[in-house]
Amino acid sequence: MKKLNLLLILMVGLFVVSCAKKEIPTGVEEAPPPAVKKESAPQTKPAEEAKVPSQETPKLSEPPIFEEVGLEPQNPEWIDAHREELLLYGRSTRPFKAIFFDFDSYYIRDDMKDRLQENARFLLENPEIKVELQGNCDERGSSEYNLALGEKRALAVKRYLINLGVSPERLITVSFGEERPLDPRHNEEAWALNRRVDFVVIKK
């Protein structure tokens, strides 16, 4: 009887041990371990794509207050359309007005004295400005004679301005004679326009 019980105990022990070695299915698949996400290095843009600080577009400078009329003679249609303006300013830098003369004369006309006083007033109110007094003539007479006459006209204007208080250091004279006509035509109307002294600003 003892042998039978011992045999049963051994058989039960063997059965238990063999069952313990077998895996018990759970019916659920075990999930694989989560993949570790590698941190990607920050991407840098190529040098050519790098953002360049925006630069402001440089502003265009304001147009100058002073503007000299072009040196080339204009066509007759343009001259006729602008004659009143030309008879006021000639080729002067505005707001200066041109001084016109009679034929073969360098004396200041009475109708030009108010203009000279206006020009002198502007110079006295703006002491930083220096002007070139440009003497001009019509085409009659020799080139040498007209150069001398243009210089006399410029000097006459200079003396008048000095008498009104303008410093002579701010006044430069030059003569162009007949070389720079405003009106290239050959008649009295054109010649009257070409006999003048222009005020051209050379320093502000």
For the chain, what is the largest distance between any 2 Cα atoms, rounded to a whole number of angstroms?
A: 168
Structural domain includes residue 13 = no
Structural domain includes residue 145 = yes
Which residues, in sequence order, are bridge partners of residue 133? 173, 199
Average of pLDDT values for 126-136? 96
Q: What is the pTM of this model?
A: 0.66
The confidence band for 166, taking pLDDT boundaries of 50, 70 and 90, is: very high
Looking at every residue in the chain, the average pLDDT score rounds to 78
Q: Which residue, 183, 108, 174, is CA-closest to 147? A: 174
Look up the CATH number of the domain holding residue 138: 3.30.1330.60
Structural domain includes residue 85 = no
pLDDT higher at 46 or 98? 98
pLDDT of residue 7: 60
Structural domain includes residue 182 = yes
pLDDT of residue 9: 65
The confidence band for 76, taking pLDDT boundaries of 50, 70 and 90, is: confident
Question: Residue 70 and residue 42: Cα distance in Å, rounded?
Answer: 62
Average of pLDDT values for 99-111? 97
Structural domain includes residue 120 = yes
pLDDT higher at 120 or 6? 120
Query: CB–CB of 183/194 below 8 Å?
Result: yes
The confidence band for 139, taking pLDDT boundaries of 50, 70 and 90, is: very high
pLDDT higher at 202 or 11? 202
Q: Per-residue b/e over 8-40, b at no fewer than 16 CB within 10 Å?
A: eeeeeeeeeeeeeeeeeeeeeeeeeeeeeeeee
When divided into structural domains, the chain yields a total of: 1
